[in-house]
Amino acid sequence: MKKQFSEKALQDFQLIDQAVNENDEQAYAMLMERYKKPVYHMILKMVRNVDDAEDLTIEAFAKAFKNLYKFKKDYTFSTWLFRIATNNSIDFIRKKKLETTSLNTSYQDESGANVTIDVKDKNLDPQEEAIKTQKIELIQLFVTKLPAKYQRLVRLRYFKELSYEEIAKELDAPLGTVKAQLHRARELLQDLIRGKKDHI
């Protein structure tokens, strides 16, 4: 029996075709617009930190868009995207060793079925390590397109993994300024992900 998809899911399929086959920038932007808020809120429940949730939301979309050509229409785009975002966030939580009980988070896909987060052991397997490396390489490619002052901030935050306080000390800058500029850098990264002519 052929699976029935909702109208929204079918619209997603059409946008994916336009994005992959025609390199349609507007299609990428519309997909991000549709799911940015729910993805962000799901991640925020997991990591319980606004700044980290914003970072992880960008990473989830960057990874999804990079692999969009691999997407199979056997299930909805939202299910696929949420799994990418979930796995990426679990990777982050393991790395940071966050104390959290929110890994029991679940969400509903287009068909109304509950999709739960499955956490295995705390060590990254080879595939997860490869994904982490790929994620860093992808962010590096986007970062090279940023203005120089933002590049340095992003490198300190994501590649050297310094805290906001450590970055402020390193740059001898007020903490508020560091947070504001990193927020702006994230916005610029989002623009690159959504509107980049040559989607990586």
- State both tokens at 18: 């336009």
193 vs 135, residue with greater confidence: 193
Name which of 182, 163, 148 is nearest 58 in CA terms.
182
What CATH number was assigned to the domain covering residues 9-195? 1.10.1740.10
d(CA 64, CA 75) in angstroms, rounded, equals 15
Model confidence at 199: pLDDT above 90 = no
DSSP string, 67-105: TGGG--TTS-HHHHHHHHHHHHHHHHHHHHT---SGGG-
Q: What is the pTM of this model?
A: 0.56
pLDDT in tens, 84-135: 999 999 888 888 764 444 444 555 555 565 555 444 444 555 665 665 665 5
Model confidence at 4: pLDDT above 50 = yes
- State both tokens at 116: 């739960």
Residue 3: what pLDDT? 72
pLDDT in tens, 32-90: 989 999 999 999 998 888 888 888 988 899 889 888 999 999 989 999 999 999 999 98
- State both tokens at 88: 């990426």
Residue 129: what pLDDT? 62
143 vs 87, residue with greater confidence: 87
φ/ψ (deg, to 5) at 107 = -145, 170
DSSP string, the chain: -PPP--HHHHHHHHHHHHHHHH--HHHHHHHHHHHHHHHHHHHHHHH--HHHHHHHHHHHHHHHHHTGGG--TTS-HHHHHHHHHHHHHHHHHHHHT---SGGG-EEE-TTS-EEE-----SSPPHHHHHHHHHHHHHHHHHHTTS-HHHHHHHIIIIIS---HHHHHHHHT--HHHHHHHHHHHHHHHHHHHHH-SS--
Tell me which residue has tokens 């997860």: 128
